[in-house]
Copies of this chain bind each other. A is one copy, B any other.
Amino acid sequence: MASRGYHHGDLRRALLECAEQAVSDGGPAQLSLRDVARRAGVSHAAPAHHFGDKRGLLTALAAEGFAQLARRLEEALAERGAFLDVAVAYVDFAVDRRAPFEVMFRPDMYDALDPTVVQARAEAAGSLALGLASMPEDAVGADRRVAELAAWSLVHGFATLWLGGALTTDGRDDPGDTARAVARYLFDKGVGPAR
- B108, B143, B164: the one within 8 Å of A107 (CB): B164
Shortest Cβ distance from A91 into B: residue: B153
Query: Within A76-119, which residues are at the interface with B (CB < 8 Å)?
Result: 105-108, 112
- B139, B140, B160: the one within 8 Å of A156 (CB): B160
Q: Does the CB pair B139–A189 fall under 8 Å? A: yes
Q: Does the CB pair B141–A152 fall under 8 Å? A: no
Copies of this protein in the assembly total 2
Query: Within A44-63, which residues are at the interface with B (CB < 8 Å)?
Result: none
Shortest Cβ distance from A181 into B: residue: B146
- Rounded to whole angstroms, the CA-CA distance of A28 and B30 in the bound complex is 11
CB distance from A26 to the nearest CB of B (A): 9
> Which size class do A's interface residues fall under?
35 or more
Q: Classify the interface of chain A: helix, strand, loop or mixed.
A: helix
Known: A142-B190, A181-B146. A27 touches B156 (CB 8 A): no
Known: A29-B29, A157-B155, A160-B160. A149 touches B182 (CB 8 A): yes
Spell out A's residues near B (CB within 8 Å). 27-30, 105-108, 112, 138-143, 146-147, 149-150, 152-161, 164-167, 178, 181-182, 185-187, 189-194
Report 24 cross-chain contacts, Cβ distance below 8 Å, ordered by A residue.
Answer: A27-B29, A27-B106, A28-B29, A29-B29, A29-B30, A105-B161, A141-B190, A143-B191, A143-B192, A146-B182, A146-B185, A146-B191, A149-B167, A149-B181, A150-B154, A150-B182, A152-B161, A153-B154, A153-B155, A153-B161, A154-B186, A156-B160, A160-B160, A187-B189
Q: What 8 A-B pairs are tightest by C-beta distance, nearest first?
A: A157-B157, A29-B29, A141-B190, A153-B157, A153-B158, A156-B157, A150-B185, A141-B189
